[in-house]
Structure 1
């Protein structure tokens, strides 16, 4: 991400969030691949709309989860970006 806390992440065009009824888990759909997400990962990606900064995403998660470790959202998004599942509108 460019400038941590200020980047505005969004899902890449080829990615779509969904819910797998069989697994009863949120998933990220990609061409020929399905990534099974935990609740935290899904909550982060749901907020990746290109409008909210990483800092805003972290703040909104604090209201949903009891603890959000420092840097956890940025680390998660960095991994998603390395896999090209997430892009930044600031790039």
Structure 2
């Protein structure tokens, strides 16, 4: 499966985004896996609400960070594709 602009990403069951107080960083927790998130990855995942399309997410991030949507589109698509390939998100 490939991420498209109409794809509506949601975290898979058993995967959650949270803040690790011990490390003072945002993380993505999955069974037997912890991924430390940078600020950009955390911002993207915060928008993945199982109701918004990738285009919706890009538009909100564009407004939030005052960045042109076309400038951030590739980063968002590549990041979400990586999560999809790793089985951490689903449509």
TM-score interval, normalised by the smaller of the two chains: 0.7 to 0.9
Could you tell me how far apart the structure 1 residues matched to 2:6 and 2:32 are? 32
TM-score (norm 2): 0.86
Residue equivalent to 1:26:
26
Tell me the SS of whatever aligns to 1:49: coil
Residue equivalent to 1:84:
87
Q: CA RMSD in A?
A: 1.6
Tell me the SS of whatever aligns to 2:56: helix
Query: Is the Cα–Cα contact under 8 Å of residues 3 and 80 in structure 2 kept in the other structure?
Result: no
Deviation for aligned residue 1:4: 1.3
Could you tell me how far apart the structure 2 residues matched to 1:74 and 1:3 are? 7
Query: Is the Cα–Cα contact under 8 Å of residues 27 and 36 in structure 2 kept in the other structure?
Result: yes
Structure 1 spans left out of the alignment, 5+ residues = none
How many residue pairs match? The answer is 88
Structure with the largest fraction of helix: 2
Give yes or no for the alignment of 1:6 onto 2:9: no
TM-score (norm 1): 0.86
Could you tell me how far apart the structure 1 residues matched to 2:64 and 2:39 are? 11
Could you tell me how far apart the structure 2 residues matched to 1:83 and 1:44 are? 16
